Structure 1
Amino acid sequence: MAMKVAIVLLFIVSFTYGKSLSSDNFDYTSDDLIDYVNSLNTTWKAGKIFNDQLMNQGGSLMAPEDLIKSKSNLVNNQDVEIDFPEHFDAREVWPNCDSIATIRDQGGCAACWAVNTVSVMSDRLCIKSNGTINVQLSAEEVISCCEDCNLGCGKGGYVTKSFSYWIKHGIVTGGSYHGDGCYPYEIKPCYKSKTGKIACEKTTQTPECRNECASGYNKNFTQDKYFGEKFDNLWGMKSIMLDIMTNGPVVAQIKQYRDLRSYQSGIYQHETGEMLGYHSVKLIGWGNDQGVDYWLVANSWGTYWGEKGFFKIKRGHNEADVEHNVFTGLPKL
């Protein structure tokens, strides 16, 4: 009897959505995509989020030679014997480090690779200094001044090269749009439109590099620099968990599928739509909800998206490649 009911339900869903069971034809926020995901009664809920594309597709790049270089920094702790806690949240462990709980907004620029990487650098600088250096480093400097890192707001850039820039050149302070610090973010954040959906002013124009601090800032550009001393490529779930628990949040490059844009709550797993490119996010912890293991993630699409800018994604099965290309570094004090 149960088998017959299941077959009937599958037929109804198939008839209702047609090709949508493998649906590459949904818009980001179409009612069909939302209804389809929610009809599956899966681990997450979809909702009408964006008016259109947030930015150019993808944004987090990995050149073959860059990948080879990162593999030489590979850290594999898969054989480590540690009794990991069921729940870990970096915001709770290091509550005095403001950057960990801060959701940045990359706006209409394909800058996830810089925004989330620099956010991780800021977190780790605070953690390693025992909270004495509580600043937000400038994603704007990396986007504008790291020529090796960046292909522009329309095409994206490289996470590992951002770490290399941090080590070689250092990065000044400067957090959110028109915020505090030497070199604040200049790209307008997304906003909630009158319809209740998120709207963004897309840009392909990368801000020009400048080697001076904002007017009125109390340090010069050289004095305000903070440097890194190494970066690592973490391999496997245990390696990632151990590094987060020891040193703080890490950067993960995930496959950005069409349905992620409509994520509203729950534990994300890819259900429908084609891959749009890679997207960099910040892993800040992990947990388990009703038997489903997840990573706790900070995104860079502002606080209107997801769970006030955060989301969860399935852990332990390399969902959307979340455990495949994970990078981190340590600050130089």
Structure 2
Amino acid sequence: MELKFVIFLLILINNFSIIMSASMPDTEEDQVFAEYMNKFKIRLRKTANEVDKVRNNVIGKYRMIKRHNERFRKGKEKFEMELNKLSYLSFEELKKSTLGFRGNETSPYASKAIVVQPISKTSRTRREAPLPEYWNWNDKGIVRPVQDQGTCSSCYAFAAIGAIEAAACKTLGQCQKLSEQEAMECTDLCSGGWDDAVYTYSISTGGCTSSNYAYYGYKRQECSTSKLRKRITNTKVKGWYLLPNDEETIRTYLYNVGPAFVSFYLYENFYNFKSGIYSSYEGEYAGAHAVLLTGYGTENGTDYWIMRNSWGVEFGERGYFRMQRGINLCNVEGWKVTIPIV
């Protein structure tokens, strides 16, 4: 009787060990994937193909991040990377859902911009005071909190509305949250668009509060300009500056006028930025992205821009990131930098 019990117990222990070993990650990458899925609560259709696809996406990024962060620890990189809520998506899925600036096409409203000439040496010497070494409008209370554009290619709307909000708050004391949904639905929808289109629409209408025209991340109606949607006083755009490819001019206007719409080329490694100063691109080209430029500074001899993204607070430095300044990295200083006038 005792022998049978011992045999039964051994079989039970063996089966339990098999079950546990099957459910426990047996490699570093298995553990990384399991922890990632648990942390970000990713829900999948429970098919082998779907799980394998997502695992390949996550582990592929993990390997790139691991190589990069080894260089970072050796002082060969200026920024650190991490897996984030976007890491389970494929590169093609990321391109379709996170961008939204149609920079390779000419905006039909581009000719309306006030083109700014580079600041000459004479102009620089006539400034009343030199620019401060560090400046961030986010510290001054005129920049609204970070938001998430979701899977709509509407970064252009978030960046342009952010610039209008800041201009109205700084210049006229009108500090209400305006509607990106309206900007998106009444201009170029989720197919990507231009800052010029948002500014031009605002010239005739002014802004509507976000609470009165909430963001859904997809086209919900045909540009509702109903009288029920109250327009916000002092939020009509009167024009906008188009700044030149000149770091000193951009800094001067940023400091003296306010936050700016800025666009840049986005590459694969940017999706996993964690902290530091984004200073080198790696991987495939994804497309054109637009964000809100709020400030600048210098760290350990490296000049940088401070920018508010529209991928939620989980990205980067609480939704912000810093990019190396003065070298036109990813064409950030040479493509499209505008500031609205209210």
TM normalised by structure 2 equals 0.72
Q: What are the superposed Cα offsets for residues 152-188 of structure 1, whole Å, 9 maximum, x if unpaired?
A: 42x31112211111113322111xxxxx3x212123x
Name the counterpart of 1:206: 219
Q: What are the superposed Cα offsets for residues 64-114 of structure 1, whole Å, 9 maximum, x if unpaired?
A: 44289358632123323152211001122x33x3xx151121111111000
Q: Sort the Cα spacing of 1:304 and 1:72 in 2 relative to 1 into closer, same or farther, 3 A.
A: closer
8 A contact 1:70–1:160 mirrored in 2: no
Letter of the structure 2 residue corresponding to residue 293 of structure 1: D
Name the counterpart of 1:228: 237
Q: What are the superposed Cα offsets for residues 243-295 of structure 1, whole Å, 9 maximum, x if unpaired?
A: 11112110101111111100000000233112111000111000000000000
Q: Sort the Cα spacing of 1:35 and 1:237 in 2 relative to 1 into closer, same or farther, 3 A.
A: same
Confirm whether residue 163 of structure 1 aligns to residue 199 of structure 2: yes
Q: Separation in 1 of the partners of 2:104 and 2:276?
A: 33
Larger RCO (CA under 8 A, 6+ residues apart): 1
Name the counterpart of 1:56: 96
Q: Sort the Cα spacing of 1:164 and 1:71 in 2 relative to 1 into closer, same or farther, 3 A.
A: closer
8 A contact 1:228–1:329 mirrored in 2: yes
| Larger gyration radius, structure 1 or structure 2 | 2
Q: Separation in 1 of the partners of 2:322 and 2:119?
A: 22
Name the counterpart of 1:10: none
Confirm whether residue 141 of structure 1 aligns to residue 182 of structure 2: yes
Moved runs in structure 1, 4+ residues, more than 6 A?
A: none
Q: Which has the higher strand share?
A: 1
- 3-state SS, counterpart of residue 104 of structure 1: coil
Q: Separation in 1 of the partners of 2:327 and 2:57?
A: 27
Q: Sort the Cα spacing of 1:297 and 1:72 in 2 relative to 1 into closer, same or farther, 3 A.
A: closer
- 3-state SS, counterpart of residue 135 of structure 1: coil
Aligned residues: 267
Letter of the structure 2 residue corresponding to residue 56 of structure 1: K
Letter of the structure 1 residue corresponding to residue 96 of structure 2: N
8 A contact 1:70–1:233 mirrored in 2: no
8 A contact 1:78–1:239 mirrored in 2: yes
> Which segment drifts farther, 68-77 or 306-315?
68-77
- 3-state SS, counterpart of residue 61 of structure 1: coil
Q: Which has the higher helix share?
A: 2
Confirm whether residue 107 of structure 1 aligns to residue 154 of structure 2: no
Name the counterpart of 2:250: 240
Letter of the structure 2 residue corresponding to residue 267 of structure 1: I
8 A contact 2:144–2:162 mirrored in 1: no
Q: Separation in 2 of the partners of 1:157 and 1:72?
A: 16
Q: Sort the Cα spacing of 1:123 and 1:292 in 2 relative to 1 into closer, same or farther, 3 A.
A: same
Letter of the structure 2 residue corresponding to residue 86 of structure 1: E
Gaps in structure 2 of 5+ consecutive residues: 1-55
Quote the offset at 1:318 in angstroms.
0.7
Q: Sort the Cα spacing of 1:276 and 1:55 in 2 relative to 1 into closer, same or farther, 3 A.
A: closer
RMSD: 2.3
- 3-state SS, counterpart of residue 126 of structure 1: helix
Q: Separation in 2 of the partners of 1:142 and 1:128?
A: 21
TM normalised by structure 1 equals 0.74
Aligned pairs for 1:44-193 within 5 A: 44-49=79-84, 50=86, 51-52=88-89, 53-54=93-94, 56=96, 58-62=99-103, 64-66=105-107, 69-70=110-111, 73-79=114-120, 80-81=123-124, 82=127, 83-92=130-139, 94-95=140-141, 97=142, 100-129=143-172, 131=173, 133-146=174-187, 150=188, 152-153=189-190, 155-174=191-210, 180=211, 182-187=212-217
Name the counterpart of 1:190: none
Name the counterpart of 1:264: 274
8 A contact 1:61–1:159 mirrored in 2: no
Q: Separation in 2 of the partners of 1:137 and 1:163?
A: 13
Q: Sort the Cα spacing of 1:127 and 1:186 in 2 relative to 1 into closer, same or farther, 3 A.
A: same
Quote the offset at 1:31 in angstroms.
1.4
Q: Separation in 1 of the partners of 2:195 and 2:117?
A: 19
Give the percent of matched residue pairs that are identical in Structure 1 and Structure 2: 25
Name the counterpart of 1:17: none
Gaps in structure 1 of 5+ consecutive residues: 1-25, 175-179, 188-204, 214-218
